[in-house]
C-alpha cells in the first residue's frame, strides 16, 4: 500500500492552493485600493490648500482689485531695456501645478524681489530660467547682445550672461576659495589672463581676501554663502539670479548679503532675488513680485503696492498696557471720538475694524482717512493726548514704516496666524 495516494487528497491540495491564491489576490486588491484612495485624498488636500490661498479672493480680477497699481510698470523706455520676460510660464510636476501662468518683465538695472512662502514656486521659476527645468508651457525671453529678446529654450546664441545662486552652495570642503573661484571662472570661459585679478577684486569687495587660500571647511555659513554669491558673478554676468541668499544666516551676515546686492546694483546689474522673507529683501528691491501657490498676486514697486492698499494705519504706542477689562470701553470711546477721522472705506485686506489694540506691542493701530492725512493725523494726536489722558499715555505716534502694510497683507495671504486681539466696532461688551 506504500505510495498509494488517498482518494481526494490531491484535490484537497489544489483546493488549498486556490484559496491561498484568492487570499493573495484580495490582499493585493486591498493594497492597490488603499494607495489609490490615499493619492486622491492628497490631491484633494492640495486643491483645498490652493483654495485656502485665495480666501476671499475668487478670481484674478478680485486679486487685481486689491491692488490698484499706479503706473510704473511699462513705460516706452522700459520696454526697450527688458532683460528677462516671463510669458505665461507654467510648470506641472505630474498633475501638480507648481507655477501657474506667470508673466512679468525685468528691466535693465532693476532689483526684483520674488517673494512668497515656502512651496510657492520661486525655486521652480528660477530653475526654469537656469534651464535646470523645462517649462510645461509658456516662454522665457532673455535679451541678447544685440538688445533683442530671444526665446531661452530655442537655440539662441549670444544671450547676455546670467549668474545663478541656487540653494545653499555645496563646495568641496578641501578646496580653497581661490581654487573654487578659479575653477568656476574657467568653467564659465572667463578670459584666463584676467581670472586672478577678477578673483582678487571680488574677494576684496566682499571682505574675503584674507581667506583666499583657506580651505572652505574653515568657513562660516555666512562666508560660504558669500563665496557662493561671488561664484555666481565670477564671469561678470549682466543678470544675477539669487535664490534665498539669506537662508540660514545670522542677522549680521544677512546685512552683508544685502550690501552685496546693493553693490551689484551700483554696478548696473539686473538682479532677481527670491525670498520667503519680505522684510529681509524689500529694502534692496525696486519692485516686488508676490507669489503664492504658483500665482503672481501682485507685481509693482513697494510704494505703489502700498498706495494700492487704500487703508493706512497709524501706530500709537502706549506707556503702560491696557487691562483687558478696560479695553472694551476704551475702544468704544476711541471709536466714537475719532469717528470723523476714521477710514470709512476700510480695506478688508488690511483690517476689518478701524481701531485695534495689539497687546504684544502695547499699541493701538488706527486706520484713518488719508484724504487730508497730515491734518487728520494732527487732530487724532491732539484728541488722544488731551481727551484720553486718564486712560493711557501715548509715547510714540507714527505712520507705518515703508513696507509694513505690505508685510501685513503678505502674512495674511500666507495665512500666518498672528496673535492679535481683534475687537469689532463698539468694543467688547
Ligand X SMILES: Nc1ncnc2c1ncn2[C@@H]1O[C@H](COP(=O)(O)OP(=O)(O)O)[C@@H](O)[C@H]1O
Which residues in this chain contact ligand X in the complex, by CB under 6 A? 93, 96, 98, 116, 118-124
Q: For ligand X, which is the closer residue by CB, 121 or 427?
A: 121
Please classify residue 136 by burial: count the beta carbons closer than 10 Å to its beta carbon, then call 0-12 exposed, 13-18 middle and 19+ buried: middle
Q: For ligand X, which is the closer residue by CB, 20 or 93?
A: 93
Residues 6+ apart with CB under 8 A from 45: none
Binding partner of 371, given ligand X, Mg ion, none, CB within 5-8 angstroms per partner class: none
The three-state secondary structure class of 122 is helix
Binding partner of 121, given Mg ion, ligand X, none, CB within 5-8 angstroms per partner class: ligand X
- Closest contact distance (angstroms) between CB of 120 and ligand X is 4
- Closest contact distance (angstroms) between CB of 243 and Mg ion is 6
- Closest contact distance (angstroms) between CB of 292 and ligand X is 9
Counting runs of H as helices and runs of E as strands, what totals does the chain give? 13, 14
Which of 276, 213, 226 minimizes the C-alpha distance to 254? 226
Binding partner of 254, given Mg ion, ligand X, none, CB within 5-8 angstroms per partner class: none
Q: How far apart are CA 263 and CA 58, in angstroms?
A: 41
Q: For ligand X, which is the closer residue by CB, 127 or 150?
A: 127
Binding to Mg ion (CB under 5 A): which residues in 338-397?
none
HSE-CB of 395 using CA atoms within 13 angstroms: 8
Binding partner of 93, given Mg ion, ligand X, none, CB within 5-8 angstroms per partner class: ligand X
Phi, psi of 220 (to 5 degrees): -75, 170
Taking residues 106 to 145 in sequence order and writing x for each that binds Mg ion by CB under 5 A, - otherwise, the string is ----------------xx----------------------
Are 224 and 181 spatial neighbours (Cβ–Cβ below 8 Å)? no
Binding partner of 124, given ligand X, Mg ion, none, CB within 5-8 angstroms per partner class: ligand X
Q: For Mg ion, which is the closer residue by CB, 165 or 180?
A: 165
- Closest contact distance (angstroms) between CB of 244 and Mg ion is 6
Q: For ligand X, which is the closer residue by CB, 116 or 308?
A: 116
Binding partner of 169, given ligand X, Mg ion, none, CB within 5-8 angstroms per partner class: none
Are 132 and 109 spatial neighbours (Cβ–Cβ below 8 Å)? no
Q: Does 265 bind Mg ion (CB under 5 A)?
A: no
Q: For ligand X, which is the closer residue by CB, 98 or 295?
A: 98
Q: How far apart are CA 52 and CA 349, in angstroms?
A: 15
Phi, psi of 131 (to 5 degrees): 60, 25
Q: For Mg ion, which is the closer residue by CB, 98 or 181?
A: 98
Q: How far apart are CA 134 and CA 413, in angstroms?
A: 28
Residues 6+ apart with CB under 8 A from 27: none
Are 286 and 112 spatial neighbours (Cβ–Cβ below 8 Å)? yes
Q: Which residue has the cell 576684496?
A: 204
Q: How far apart are CA 133 and CA 50, in angstroms?
A: 23
Binding partner of 308, given ligand X, Mg ion, none, CB within 5-8 angstroms per partner class: none
Cell numbers placing 127: 530653475
Tell me the residue nearest to Mg ion as measured from the CB: 123
- Closest contact distance (angstroms) between CB of 278 and ligand X is 13
Binding partner of 228, given ligand X, Mg ion, none, CB within 5-8 angstroms per partner class: none
Q: How far apart are CA 15 and CA 335, in angstroms?
A: 84
- Closest contact distance (angstroms) between CB of 81 and ligand X is 27
Q: For ligand X, which is the closer residue by CB, 294 or 313?
A: 294
First to last CA, the chain: 100
- Closest contact distance (angstroms) between CB of 98 and ligand X is 3
Burial pattern 275-299, b for ≥16 Cβ within 10 A else e, equals: bbbbebbbebbbbbbbbbbbbbbbb
Q: For ligand X, which is the closer residue by CB, 129 or 203?
A: 129
Binding partner of 246, given ligand X, Mg ion, none, CB within 5-8 angstroms per partner class: none
Are 130 and 84 spatial neighbours (Cβ–Cβ below 8 Å)? no
Length of the chain: 429
Q: How far apart are CA 385 and CA 279, in angstroms?
A: 32
- Closest contact distance (angstroms) between CB of 120 and Mg ion is 8
- Closest contact distance (angstroms) between CB of 365 and ligand X is 30
- Closest contact distance (angstroms) between CB of 277 and ligand X is 12
Binding partner of 366, given ligand X, Mg ion, none, CB within 5-8 angstroms per partner class: none
Q: For ligand X, which is the closer residue by CB, 243 or 369?
A: 243
Using CB under 5 A, list all residues that contact Mg ion. 122-123
Amino acid at each position: 500500500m506504500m505510495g498509494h495516494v488517498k482518494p481526494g487528497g490531491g484535490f484537497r491540495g489544489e483546493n488549498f492552493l486556490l484559496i491561498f491564491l484568492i487570499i493573495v489576490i484580495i490582499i493585493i486588491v486591498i493594497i492597490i485600493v488603499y494607495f489609490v484612495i490615499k493619492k486622491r485624498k492628497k490631491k484633494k488636500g492640495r486643491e483645498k490648500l490652493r483654495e485656502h490661498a485665495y480666501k476671499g479672493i475668487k478670481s484674478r480680477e478680485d486679486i487685481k482689485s486689491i491692488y490698484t497699481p499706479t503706473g510704473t510698470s511699462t513705460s516706452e523706455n522700459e520696454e526697450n531695456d527688458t532683460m528677462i520676460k516671463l510669458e505665461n510660464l507654467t510648470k506641472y510636476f505630474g498633475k501638480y501645478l507648481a507655477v501657474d501662468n506667470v508673466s512679468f518683465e525685468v528691466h535693465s538695472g532693476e532689483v526684483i524681489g520674488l517673494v512668497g512662502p515656502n512651496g510657492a514656486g520661486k525655486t521652480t521659476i528660477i530653475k526654469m530660467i537656469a534651464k535646470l527645468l523645462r517649462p510645461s508651457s509658456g516662454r522665457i525671453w532673455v535679451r541678447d547682445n544685440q538688445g533683442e529678446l530671444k526665446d531661452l529654450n530655442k537655440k539662441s546664441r549670444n544671450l547676455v550672461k546670467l549668474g545663478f545662486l541656487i540653494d545653499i552652495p555645496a563646495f568641496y570642503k578641501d578646496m580653497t576659495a581661490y581654487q573654487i573661484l578659479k575653477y568656476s571662472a574657467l568653467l564659465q570661459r572667463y578670459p584666463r589672463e584676467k581670472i586672478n585679478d577678477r578673483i582678487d577684486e571680488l574677494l576684496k569687495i566682499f571682505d574675503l581676501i584674507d581667506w583666499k587660500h583657506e580651505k572652505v571647511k574653515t568657513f562660516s555659513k555666512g562666508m560660504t554663502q558669500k563665496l557662493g554669491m561671488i561664484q555666481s558673478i565670477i564671469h561678470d554676468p549682466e543678470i544675477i539670479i539669487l535664490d534665498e541668499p539669506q537662508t540660514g544666516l545670522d542677522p549680521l551676515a544677512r546685512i552683508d548679503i544685502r550690501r552685496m546686492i546693493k553693490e551689484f546694483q551700483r554696478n548696473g546689474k539686473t538682479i532677481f532675488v527670491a525670498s520667503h522673507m519680505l522684510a529681509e529683501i524689500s529694502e534692496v528691491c525696486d519692485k516686488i513680485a508676490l507669489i503664492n501657490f504658483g500665482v503672481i498676486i501682485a507685481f509693482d514697486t513697494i510704494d505703489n503696492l502700498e498706495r494700492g492698499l487704500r487703508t493706512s494705519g497709524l501706530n500709537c504706542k502706549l506707556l503702560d498696557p491696557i487691562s483687558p477689562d478696560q479695553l472694551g470701553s476704551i475702544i468704544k470711546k476711541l471709536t466714537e471720538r475719532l469717528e470723523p477721522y476714521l477710514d470709512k472705506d476700510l480695506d478688508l485686506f488690511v483690517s476689518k475694524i478701524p481701531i485695534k489694540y495689539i497687546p504684544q506691542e502695547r499699541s493701538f493701530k488706527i486706520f484713518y482717512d488719508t484724504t487730508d492725512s497730515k491734518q487728520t493725523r494732527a487732530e487724532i494726536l491732539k484728541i488722544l493726548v488731551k481727551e484720553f489722558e486718564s486712560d493711557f499715555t501715548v509715547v510714540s505716534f507714527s505712520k507705518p514704516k515703508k513696507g509694513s502694510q505690505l508685510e501685513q497683507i503678505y502674512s495674511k495671504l500666507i495665512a500666518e496666524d498672528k496673535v492679535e486681539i481683534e475687537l469689532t466696532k463698539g468694543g467688547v461688551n
